Amino acid sequence: MAISKNNRGFGVGKYGIELKSVLAGWVKEIDGGHATADVVSEKIGSDHLARKHLGPLKYEEISLKCGAAMSNGLYEWIKTGFNQTSNTAGREDGAIVFADFDENEISRLNWTQALITEFGMPALDASSKDAALMSVKFQPETTRKLIGGGGKISFPSDAAKAKKWLPSNFRIRIDACDTGCRWVNKVEALTVKQKVTDNAVGELRDYEKVPTSVEIPNLVITLSESHAEEFYKWHDDFVVKGNNDQSLERGGQLEYLTSNLKETLFTLQFLQLGVFKISPDKVEAGGEPVRRVKVEMYCEDIKFDYNGSSTFGKR
């Protein structure tokens, strides 16, 4: 039987994120957002069969990975996504747009009132040559799948140019540790998480999502032991001698740089840092000649910014 041209299979070449009806850019990976329900089994009869029915409607979390060529709309959502000062803070309507290689829309998954549940920045290594990607996860209140072409997709005018973003290009600063920070060669991955719960109402099928708490990761860096004196002195005073009240916690900043090291793509500001452990990396005889130590610090809050904004030293 002949297959109609309109019913042929198709491949998807590009995946885009749309915020407030404007494409925020193409992403590397994307998954989730499907409507689903749990299957509930009940043994209610005299026979051996269990009766089955569906539980409450729910929507899967959406996850994506992207580089540095996204619009300010996505970065602004990340910047404000963990702000719990109001009921509307951090909520976004949008869509996942599936397109062919010629940037013609094939289908889309619309979502409403999504809250960011996780934001991750990659591990940094001065010797790395791989491309860097940030990750974002968010929980929508509803999603709807639409099949059919939407025409040619226009790229956002405020999207960043495709700048090369490498995990080897970074600059870190921590109060009173300027010399040691110049010799940092690794920064472990940083992931901020926000817990979200359902505000269930009996007469509604789609529940409102409510943020409950934010989990801030530790800041872990590696540097040459020969240049770690400032960190050892901080550790001795803060941990060993017990001078660790809130007024003695420190601030810091991590800048993600372009390949020419002259422009700042993104900035993470660390608030209320406190060192709690310094340990040498495991080494073997005949191995790496540079003796390095790992410094671990707790952090109370992390602020994200973009386009080279710098707030280092501000509390």
Biggest alpha carbon–alpha carbon distance for the chain: 83
Per the CB < 8 A criterion, the answer to whether 98 and 64 are in contact is no
What are the pLDDT digits (tens) for 141-190? 999 999 876 788 876 555 545 578 999 999 999 999 999 999 999 999 99
What value does the CA radius of gyration of the chain take, rounded to a whole number of Å? 24
DSSP state of 75: H
The amino acid occupying position 119 is F
Domain spans in the chain, listed from the N-terminal domain onward: 15-37+54-149+161-306
* pTM assigned to the model: 0.87
Instruction: Tell me the average pLDDT of the chain.
Output: 87
Structure token digits, residue 70: 């996204």
Burial (CB count within 10 angstroms: exposed 0-12, middle 13-18, buried 19+), residue 303: middle
Structure token digits, residue 176: 């009173």
What are the pLDDT digits (tens) for 76-86? 999 999 876 66
Per the CB < 8 A criterion, the answer to whether 160 and 97 are in contact is no
The reported pLDDT for the residue numbered 6 is 52
What average pLDDT does range 37-59 have in this prediction?
Answer: 84
Structure token digits, residue 49: 């069969």
pLDDT at residue 42 tops 70: yes
What are the pLDDT digits (tens) for 90-147? 899 999 999 888 888 889 999 999 999 999 999 999 999 999 999 999 999 999 999 8
DSSP 104-158: BEEEEEEEEEEEEEEEEE--EETT--SPP-EEEEEE-SEEEEEES---BPPPPTT
Strand, coil or helix: what is 235? helix
Q: What are phi and psi of 232, to 5 degrees?
A: -65, -40
What average pLDDT does range 12-26 have in this prediction?
Answer: 86
